[in-house]
Amino acid sequence: MEIKEILKEILTAHVPSGREPEGSGAVKVLFKNYFDEVRVDKLGNIIGKKKGNEGSFKVMIAAHMDEIGMMVTKIEEKGFIRFAYVGGIDQRILLGQEVLIHGKKIIPGIIGSKPPHLQEPDEKSKALKKEDLFIDTGLSYEKIKEIINVGDFITFKRKPIELMNNHFSSNALDDKAGVAAILCCMEELKKFNFKGEVYGVATVQEEVGLRGAITSTYGIYPDIGIAIDVGHGNIPDLPEEETFKLGKGPAIALGPNIHPKLYEKLKSIAEEYKIPYQIDPNPSYTGTDAWSIQITRAGVPTALISIPLRYMHTTVETLNTEDIKLIGRLIALFIASIDTEFVEGLKCFY
Amino acid sequence: MLLLKKLSEAAGVSGCENEVRNILKEELKEYADFKTDALGNLLFEKKNKGKKPRIMIAAHMDEVGLMITSILKNGFLKFESVGGIDDRILVSKTVTIGPNKIKGVIGAKPIHRQDPKERENALKIKNLYIDIGAKDQEDAEKKVKIGDYACFDTEFEIIGENIVKGKALDDRIGCFVVAELLKRNYEVEICGAFTVQEEIGLRGSGVAVYQLKPDVAIVVEGTFASDVPGTKEEEYNTVLGMGPAVTTMDRSFIANKGMRDRVFEVAKKNNIPCQPRRTNLGGTDGGRIQSIGEGIPTIVISVPTRYIHSPVSMADINDINNTILLINFLILDYQERGI
């Protein structure tokens, strides 16, 4: 499958954090195409396993499939719906968005506010707060009560679009693009004889506290854990040195969350195979599944690779699909190059 | 509703109404004679049996949108708004640019890199830009020119209970109503216009009326409905589902009392729900049309529409159908009793 097709397929899964088991069927079907075995753990993580030729070490590649969203908190008497956030949302992106409410059926709605005609001039310089906003479904109160309940989850409607030069825009690319990178890696890996076992994991509940990675890593207990997530792309609003350029390759992280030998190995493979890459120094918290993976059981040597992504947590997240393919290739080459000796060496800090 | 879908999804920012004009001309060519004028208004004439009064029906084709004002070295596009747009609705939206419908997105700084204080202030249009995925200025210039218009990229759909949602329902809904009326036959002369440039100061309609010289004009609009949380009932301009709204007064226009009352009479007689437009806010082509020549008796009838001037507006199909019916009966009443 072509990368944009894989992405679009994964994006059909509307999975706000905590509601992955209900909506992740498409991801599971895709995983079955690339792995020997696929299982779902108790939190809803989708785990694929593919065996290599020899060796008993395990490499885990994880990317979270959950996305930011909202939850119904109140249905007002006229049928307007109030909501709370699931994950980090800038209130300023909400006005005029189309959403899907996952009730007994999926109900489309629009986020509205009172019309600008009726607002005081000074109101317009202030951001609308969540309290000023509501969802309008065009349904009567009686009808809504039949279909929607407080506690139902809400996602942003999406229609992925292709921009110039392999740029691609949609909501929820954080981190469904990472899930796509896992599949790219598995496709690339078909070209190689590799050792050990590869586990691909589409994790749950990353956006609310890196939770799915905790149980999936515990279950697999890998010798190496690699998290794939997104990193802030270059935009006019942010200093160039704090962002990654789109289309210029994966951002390889280093810092306390990252095993130094894994960082060095990934970098040297990128150099050897002329894969463009960028360096992502993280002095402490990485805010990714890597943070959970590293301290599971007796500890897991961990790496983090990021896809440059503009406008993170908006409905127009934008990336370059070449970067996803490059990550797939980089990780496949990494897996093909390691052996038991390398894996054992990760515990030697002399 | 297929025609309304086509109209809603067409690009037609003030000053560049081509797509909308072509759809209407194609749809209606067998029902009336058409011509365009110096501004781009689409004028029509249907003599019928030549009876008086000569009745004009009008709706504006243009919508609020954006114009590309510069292409930056890094390939991002700066823009300004065309018509009244609340800056706050622009963030995190998809747009299409120019005649080739180049896709672009309006992003914003990610929440992770904001001070919490930043989120209390609205993002101003001067701080926003469109990303089309270009490598740099030269790359962007292959696809986009300064002066290109951009509009929201929204799918028209039926949702809820008999509700349509889409962009530019102000005033494609009016174009739809006028189009449906043009398909009917009367004894009186029907003339009118799909006008241009309403959103930037009622620019097209006066020029159209000057040429058409009607005895009476009926302007069809999509006016704002404010029957939503955060608004007091006395501020409800119109209410969705309560029928077409008749204007008494707005910022551009005051209706003749007798003419306004007659609309309500006709509605009552024919059992069509009808509501007064409550506020005096906003303005329509009615204001311009009324004061052309020695004055034209004018009435403004609107379909209540929530969230106008945003990427996605909403209206009730029953209100649309009732607006067609009400104006139909009003024309018949003028035909029978004169104005």
Give the pLDDT of residue B81.
96
Are residues A116 and A199 part of one domain? Answer: no
Strands A106-112 and B65-71: unpaired
Residue A46 phi/psi, 5-degree rounding, is -100, 120
Q: How many domains does chain B have?
A: 2
Give the pLDDT of residue A118.
81
Q: Choose one of A110, A131, A156: the last residue of a domain.
A: A156
Query: Quick check: is B141 in a domain?
Result: yes
pLDDT at B26 exceeding the cut of 80: yes
Are residues B273 and B130 part of one domain? Answer: no
The runs of H, that is alpha helices, within A12-98 are 20-23, 25-34
* Parent domain of A144: 69-156
Query: Quick check: is A163 in a domain?
Result: no
DSSP bridge pairs for A34: none
CA dist., res. A41 & res. A179, Å (int): 17
Place of tokens 């280093």: A254
pLDDT tens track for A38-73: 999 999 999 999 999 987 899 999 999 999 999 999
pLDDT at A197 exceeding the cut of 90: yes
Give the pLDDT of residue B298.
97
Query: Quick check: is A162 in a domain?
Result: no
Are residues B182 and B78 part of one domain? Answer: no
Are residues A100 and A58 part of one domain? Answer: no
Are residues B228 and B319 part of one domain? Answer: yes
User: Which of A83, A89, A136 is best to mutate for the B interface (most B CBs within 10 A)?
Assistant: A136
Query: Quick check: is B14 in a domain?
Result: yes
Query: Quick check: is B159 in a domain?
Result: no
What's the CATH code of the domain at A149?
2.40.30.40
Residue A134 phi/psi, 5-degree rounding, is -155, 165
Nearest beta carbon to residue B307 from set A96, A128, A236: A96
Residue of A206, A207, A317, A322 marked active site? A206
Query: Quick check: is B162 in a domain?
Result: no
Q: How many domains does chain A have?
A: 2
Query: Quick check: is B197 in a domain?
Result: yes
The nearest CA of chain A is from the CA of B83 a distance in Å of 13
Active site residue B198: yes
The nearest CA of chain A is from the CA of B296 a distance in Å of 28
pLDDT at A121 exceeding the cut of 90: no
pLDDT at B301 exceeding the cut of 90: yes
Contact between B150 and B65 (Cβ < 8 Å): yes
Query: Quick check: is A164 in a domain?
Result: no
DSSP bridge pairs for B164: B158, B315
Q: Choose one of B152, B180, B204: the last residue of a domain.
A: B152
Q: In this prediction, what percent of chain A has a pLDDT beyond 70? A: 100
Cβ neighbors of A30 (< 8 A, separation 6 or more) are A6, A9, A10, A183
Q: In this prediction, what percent of chain B has a pLDDT beyond 70? A: 100
Are residues A274 and A334 part of one domain? Answer: yes
Confidence category of residue A82, pLDDT binned at 50, 70, 90: very high
User: Which of A237, A243, A245, A307 is best to mutate for the B interface (most B CBs within 10 A)?
Assistant: A237
Give chain A positions within 8 Å (CB) of B86: 116, 124
3-state secondary structure of A107: strand
Nearest beta carbon to residue A163 from set B86, B129, B133: B133
Are residues A317 and A276 part of one domain? Answer: yes
Give the pLDDT of residue A90.
93
Are residues A145 and A279 part of one domain? Answer: no
What's the CATH code of the domain at B111?
2.40.30.40
Q: Mean pLDDT score of chain A, rounded to an integer?
A: 96
Are residues A63 and A81 part of one domain? Answer: no
Are residues B194 and B90 part of one domain? Answer: no
Check CB contact under 8 Å for B226 and A115. Answer: yes
Are residues A75 and A57 part of one domain? Answer: no
pLDDT at B318 exceeding the cut of 80: yes
pLDDT tens track for A279-291: 999 999 999 999 9
CA dist., res. A127 & res. B118, Å (int): 9
Query: Quick check: is B160 in a domain?
Result: no
Q: Mean pLDDT score of chain B, rounded to an integer?
A: 96
Give the pLDDT of residue A115.
84
**Which residue type does A185 have?**
C
Give the sign of the dihedral formed by CA B203, CA B204, CA B206, CA B210: positive
The nearest CA of chain A is from the CA of B94 a distance in Å of 7
User: Which of B85, B86, B130, B278 is best to mutate for the A interface (most A CBs within 10 A)?
Assistant: B86
Q: Choose one of A103, A121, A156: the last residue of a domain.
A: A156
pLDDT tens track for B38-80: 999 999 999 999 999 999 999 999 999 999 999 999 999 999 9
Are residues A244 and A271 part of one domain? Answer: yes
Give the pLDDT of residue A324.
98
pLDDT at B133 exceeding the cut of 90: yes
pLDDT at A350 exceeding the cut of 80: no
* Parent domain of B79: 66-152
What's the CATH code of the domain at A26?
3.40.630.10
Query: Quick check: is A334 in a domain?
Result: yes
Q: Least CA distance to A169: which residue of chain B? A: B105
Are residues A301 and A243 part of one domain? Answer: yes
